[in-house]
A and B are shown apart, each in its own frame.
Chain A
Amino acid sequence: MERKIRDVMSPEPIGVYYDQTIADAARVMRDADVGALLVVHGQELVGVVTDRDLVVRGVAEDMKPADLVGPLCSGDLVGVNADDDTGEAIRVIRENAVRRLPVIEDGQIAGMVSLGDLAIAHDAQSPLAVVSRAGPR
């Protein structure tokens, strides 16, 4: 039986506000040991920002650690439902060439699911699964 996305996702997604700084976002990523954060503007989810975004859209564009993180995020969020099978998450990841997806439940963000989470679920011994368990680095 195929597993549900809720069984493999990382619950309690972590976010930053649009008007926090790049340095704030980097500290949250470091302290929570995650590579991506949801970005919230007021009450609204506006995107996802990754550690790589901080580097290629921030540092490489001569932005400073004290600049706002919001403009670095990717909008056009593609999500999956917590009750979908993990195969659905893999399909959406392939189609969109992304590495992680927000998971939606009752209209709210319930978690994030990454390629690493899916690799662990499908083949616990794959190199990606082993490295994913070790955390981002």
Chain B
Amino acid sequence: MKIREVMTPAPVTVASTDMVTAAANAMKEQGIGATPVVTDDRLTGILTDRDIAVRVLAEGRDPASTRTGDVCSTELVSIGMDDDIEDAIRLIREHAVRRVPVIAEDVLVGIVSISDLVLARDERSALADVSAAPPNT
């Protein structure tokens, strides 16, 4: 099975100059746990809900005046649309991440998460049920 079949296409992104509040709004509105961060349409980072807790709130920074580009992770692992889902599972294991951006010719085209992969492999697992529900806890 290919990445393109299980990925979430056209993910919502934030600009690296946007404030963290904008990313938090996107996470809430879209029911997602991470937003890719782009600079001039190129993927330059990824920011998760946990990053906001740990790197912004725990540090006493004001999310309304902190840029996403200053707190996102920039050591990016990415994958291609036509790679196999096993490649994504390997990357997720090696790098201990929960999601991997999908890139085509330097442009962000999707994002693939552990949940997407587990849903693809076992639609009836406990994780599949939880991942199919909106994130809340």
In angstroms, Cα B24 to Cα A62, docked, is 10
Taking the closest CB of chain B, its distance from the CB of A84, in whole angstroms, is 15
Pair B117/A127 contact, Cβ less than 8 Å: yes
Contact at B57–A56, with CB atoms within 8 Å? Answer: no
Q: Is the CB of A137 within 8 A of B50?
A: yes
A36 at the B interface (CB under 8 A): yes
**Main SS class of interface, A:** helix
Instruction: Report the minimal beta-carbon distance from A123 to chain B, rounded to whole angstroms.
Output: 10
| A97/B129 in contact, CB under 8 A | yes
Would you call the interface of chain B mostly helix, strand, loop, or mixed? helix
Partner-binding segment picked from B6-14, B76-84, B88-96 = B88-96
Interface string of A85-113 (1 = CB under 8 A from B): 00000100110011110000000000000
When distances are taken between beta carbons in the complex, the residues of chain B under 8 Å from A62 are: 21, 64
**What's the Cα separation between A62 and B20 when bound, in Å?**
11
Task: Assess whether A134 is in contact with B96, with CB atoms less than 8 Å apart.
Answer: yes
Contact (Cβ within 8 A) A128 B96: no
Give residues in B with beta carbon < 8 Å to A: 20-21, 24-25, 27-28, 33, 48-50, 52-54, 56-58, 60-64, 89, 92-93, 96-98, 114, 117-118, 126-127, 129-130, 133, 135-137
Interface residues of A (CB under 8 A from B): 22-23, 25-27, 29-30, 35-36, 48, 50-56, 58-60, 62, 64-65, 74, 90, 93-94, 97-100, 115, 118-119, 126-128, 130-131, 134-137
